[in-house]
Amino acid sequence: MTIASRTIAPTLATGPSTAPLIRDFPVGERPRERLRNYGAGHLSNAELLAILLRTGTQGENVLAMASRILARFEGLATLSRTSFDELCAEKGLSEAKSCQLLAALELGRRVSSLSPEDRVVISSPKDIANLFMAEMSMLEREELRVLLLNTKNQVIGVERLYQGSVNSALVRPAEVFTAAVRRTCPAIAVVHNHPSGDPTPSPEDVSMTARLIQAGEILDIEVLDHVVIGAQRYVSLKERKLGFE
């Protein structure tokens, strides 16, 4: 999918008194909706900052406010070194918003400083279950996620693709492998949950797995495993040789 570059509407630059509210933007142009539809990588720094700040001030919407703050601190590099007191002194930045912003910047700094040795290695289905069991066993709706792996089977990313119903007929291999192709990953692993609590793979789960393996062979991307999460239990389709030859 090609995402056309976007520019902020001219009305945003006409001053605080005329800045439209974010809720008046077309739904597809709002930062949160753009992140949900296209992924965080397609958003500008101002849009990402606007999502963190959530609300603007009277006469200045949150996107205009985010752009102003980035300009005031000359970009993310200087902003990341700004103190709590300096942020709180900026118009529109309460203590709560300043805390949120500094916490997000610190998380980004910690992620960027991780060495390859700090990455999770997938060597068994249990490793996959340990990553997702606590969260996914509690979900009330089905979700399917894809682990992106490097040549050492280290997790370099996780993509959340389907929510609500992981229907075999609706799961498109092209979507499952998109991020892996973009990041030239040699392997992926797939995980989804059964809200019923029973992790027994359905015939549809097996069929989907077989289709993904076939697609992976064409793309030269190995499907390392497909793990189904239940109520504090899991099943590896690879271990049971379901969909895997």
Task: Report domain extents, the chain.
Answer: 10-112, 118-236
Full-model pTM = 0.57
Q: Return the bridge partners of 234, or none.
A: 229
| Residues 132-160: tens digit of each pLDDT | 998 899 888 899 999 999 999 999 889 98
| Residues 82-96: tens digit of each pLDDT | 999 999 999 999 999
What is the assigned CATH class of domain 118-236? alpha beta
CATH for 10-112, options being 1.10.150, 3.90.660, 1.10.760, 1.25.40: 1.10.150
Coil vs helix vs strand at 242? coil
CA 235 to chain CA centroid, Å, is 25
Residue pair 62/53 in contact (Cβ under 8 Å)? The answer is: yes
What size, in residues, is the chain? Answer: 245
| Closest to 232 (Cα-Cα) out of 134, 131, 122 | 134
Rounded distance between C-alpha atoms, residue 64 and residue 245, angstroms: 55
What pLDDT shows up at residue 6? Answer: 46
